[in-house]
């Protein structure tokens, strides 16, 4: 049986038509502030027309497992394409870096995949209206829980094949069927997601009203809540969360932690079953890793050994200020370390300071956190905590059976025996991830040398870890207060590919490139 691509394309069209409804939110912001109204009107019209034309390819689509893979992969490309339109239209006649199609596509894919890497310089932050910047934030919120999960939740056309679509969009372990119907499960997950976002808006704006965060206006509260829960990391401020008070940073930390937790567990807590949270072995391992990395980083910053002595990509005045302010300050050392390690490991990508000012050893710890990622079933990216946990348990079993070759010792997770096929799948995914990581580092280094762009191996590693793992900032010239603008058009498009395959966890995209997929 051949793949019915028309069925997949038709359902992509359905998703695009409903995406035009979501565009009403930034349109309302544009109307309120009186800027770029025509940009969103034009985007909505183009999206509706494109969606309608695609829908007509197959009026009654029959979605099988292989069509599901194709539909999910194409959906993410299509929504990223739609996301470029406001940037391109608003950039006409301006100095914004987003007026160029490659840059606009990079920013859009980074938004929808919740990566948070940006090609926007300071001029772009100052050039664009609040409506465009809110659209940038909103793309991350839409992509966080998953475009297809949202579609399954609201579109009756997708309810029959919803389970396989969700599995294709989030192929790793973790999406648990919380209700008898998969569409209802999707709605439950989105309700929890929406509720937590609203709660963060209230708390952040309350800090402003209480005088603890003068520049955390209602606009900023909404903008940052929209990119915390999806572990996205975009901010309308060029200096990210450093632009806000310590109180804001402490409020955001627990929301990033929750965003990195399996949302099935989050829903069970909301549903009055909090004990299940601490019975979950992945959650305990996740908290343990966050706590250990944050504590170690805090000690290094407190003693001053975690800070650079020079030769880093930050202003000397900034570096001098950091070295004079952090060592010996318990609260700030703990806050800066906890914020950064939570932000990076959950793949949120916010920054409360320019961590280029940290020592090399401390930055390598951040790189490790980039590769760990959040929990399965969360909005976090990278390899995921549960995979590392299974790998560690399997290695421990192999060491035991080496000493006791006659022993039969299954790998267990939360008291349940893990199927050997699932273990092989986890090792295969991790090997594929690491292989793609190193190949991509070489690709970026070779291309940087071709155009004369000064890119160190460590910076290239951070760029790949950030885009493939949907983290956002890198190190050096790609740090949290810098951007990815210096790369060539080819490298930017290659990183768009990395963000795309990273968000879909590689296999659903790469399987489309095999001959066996297209043959009967």
Is pLDDT of 358 > 90? yes
- Mention every residue, 6+ apart, whose C-beta is less than 8 A from residue 124: 95, 96, 97, 98
Is pLDDT of 228 > 80? yes
pTM beyond 0.75: yes
Among 47-51, 163-167, 340-344, name the one with the lowest average pLDDT. 163-167
At residue 177, the pLDDT reads 46
Phi first, then psi: give them for residue 354, nearest 5 degrees.
-80, 100
Is pLDDT of 132 > 90? yes
Q: Are the C-beta atoms of 164 and 71 separated by less than 8 Å? A: no
Q: Which long-range contacts (CB under 8 A, 24 or more apart) does 52-57 make?
A: 52/13, 52/17, 53/13, 54/9, 54/10, 54/12, 54/13, 54/16, 55/10, 55/13, 55/14, 55/17, 56/10, 56/13, 57/6, 57/9, 57/10, 57/13
Average confidence (pLDDT) over 275-280: 85
Average confidence (pLDDT) over 123-136: 90
At residue 71, the pLDDT reads 84
Q: What is the percent of the chain with per-residue pLDDT over 70, rounded to a whole number?
A: 90
Q: Which residues pair with 307 in a beta bridge?
A: 358
Among 51-55, 92-96, 153-157, 412-416, name the one with the lowest average pLDDT. 153-157
Is pLDDT of 242 > 70? yes
Condensed to tens digits (0 to 9), the pLDDT of residues 435-456 reads 999 999 999 999 999 999 999 9
How many CB atoms sit inside 10 A of residue 2's CB? 8
Average confidence (pLDDT) over 490-517: 88
Pairwise CA distance, residues 339 & 250, whole Å: 8
Confidence of residue 516 (pLDDT cuts 50, 70, 90): confident
For 394, the token pair is: 């399997």
Is pLDDT of 277 > 90? no
At residue 286, the pLDDT reads 95
Alpha carbon distance, N-terminus to C-terminus of the chain:
4
- Residue 246: C-alpha distances to residues 207, 232, 241, 336, 346 (Å): 11, 20, 9, 9, 20
At residue 311, the pLDDT reads 66
Is pLDDT of 21 > 60? yes
Is pLDDT of 155 > 50? no
Is pLDDT of 111 > 90? yes
44-48, 88-92, 262-266 — most confident range: 44-48
Is pLDDT of 152 > 90? no
Condensed to tens digits (0 to 9), the pLDDT of residues 80-97 reads 999 999 999 998 878 889
Among 167-181, 227-241, 263-277, 426-440, name the one with the lowest average pLDDT. 167-181
Confidence of residue 174 (pLDDT cuts 50, 70, 90): very low
Condensed to tens digits (0 to 9), the pLDDT of residues 285-337 reads 999 999 999 999 999 999 999 888 866 677 778 888 888 889 999 999 999 99
Confidence of residue 163 (pLDDT cuts 50, 70, 90): very low
Average confidence (pLDDT) over 465-485: 94
Rounded to the nearest integer, the mean pLDDT of the chain is 88
């Amino acid at each position: 049986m051949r793949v019915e691509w028309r069925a997949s394309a038709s359902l992509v069209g359905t998703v695009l038509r409903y995406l035009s409804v979501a565009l009403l939110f930034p349109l309302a912001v544009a109307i309120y502030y009186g800027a770029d109204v025509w940009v969103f009107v034009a985007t909505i019209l183009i999206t509706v027309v494109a969606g309608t034309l695609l829908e007509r390819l197959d009026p009654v689509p029959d979605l099988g497992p292989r069509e599901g893979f194709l539909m999910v992969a194409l959906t993410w490309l299509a929504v990223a394409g739609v996301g470029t339109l406001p940037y391109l239209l608003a950039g006409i006649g301006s100095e914004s870096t987003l007026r160029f199609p490659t840059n606009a596509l990079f920013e859009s894919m980074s938004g929808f995949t919740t990566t948070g890497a940006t090609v926007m310089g300071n001029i772009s932050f100052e050039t664009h209206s609040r409506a465009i910047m809110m659209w940038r934030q909103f793309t991350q919120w839409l992509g966080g829980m998953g475009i297809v999960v949202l579609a399954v939740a609201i579109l009756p056309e997708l309810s029959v094949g919803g389970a396989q679509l969700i599995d294709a969009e989030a192929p790793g372990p973790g999406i648990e069927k919380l209700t008898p119907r998969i569409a209802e499960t999707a709605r439950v997950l989105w309700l929890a997601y929406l509720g937590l976002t609203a709660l963060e808006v209230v708390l952040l704006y309350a800090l402003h009203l209480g005088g603890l965060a003068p520049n955390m206006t209602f606009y900023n509260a909404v903008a940052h809540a929209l990119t915390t829960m999806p572990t996205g990391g975009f901010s309308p401020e060029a200096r990210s969360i450093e632009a806000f008070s310590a109180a804001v940073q402490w409020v955001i930390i627990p929301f990033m932690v929750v965003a990195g937790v399996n949302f099935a567990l989050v829903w069970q807590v909301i549903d009055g079953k909090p004990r299940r949270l601490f019975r979950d072995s992945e959650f305990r391992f996740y908290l343990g890793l966050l706590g250990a990395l944050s504590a170690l980083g805090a000690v290094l910053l407190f003693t001053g050994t975690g800070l650079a002595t020079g030769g880093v990509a930050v202003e000397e005045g900034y570096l001098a200020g950091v070295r004079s302010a952090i060592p010996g300050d318990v609260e700030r050392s703990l806050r800066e370390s906890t914020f950064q390690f939570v932000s990076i490991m959950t793949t949120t990508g916010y920054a409360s300071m320019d961590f280029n000012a940290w020592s090399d050893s401390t930055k390598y710890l951040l790189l490790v956190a980039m590769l760990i990622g959040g929990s399965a079933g969360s909005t976090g990216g990278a390899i995921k905590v549960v995979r590392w946990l299974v790998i560690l348990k399997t290695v421990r079993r192999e060491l035991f059976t080496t000493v006791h070759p006659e022993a039969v010792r299954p790998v267990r997770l939360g008291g349940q025996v893990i199927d050997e096929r699932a273990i092989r799948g986890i090792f295969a995914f991790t090997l594929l991830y690491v292989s793609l990581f190193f190949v991509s580092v070489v690709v970026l280094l070779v291309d940087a040398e071709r155009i004369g762009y000064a890119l160190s191996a460590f910076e290239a590693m951070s760029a790949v870890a950030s885009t493939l793992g949907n983290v956002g900032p890198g190190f050096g010239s790609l740090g949290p207060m810098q951007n990815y603008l210096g790369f060539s058009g080819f490298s930017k498009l290659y990183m768009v590919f990395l963000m795309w395959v990273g968000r879909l966890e590689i296999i659903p995209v790469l399987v489309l490139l095999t001959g066996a997929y297209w043959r009967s």
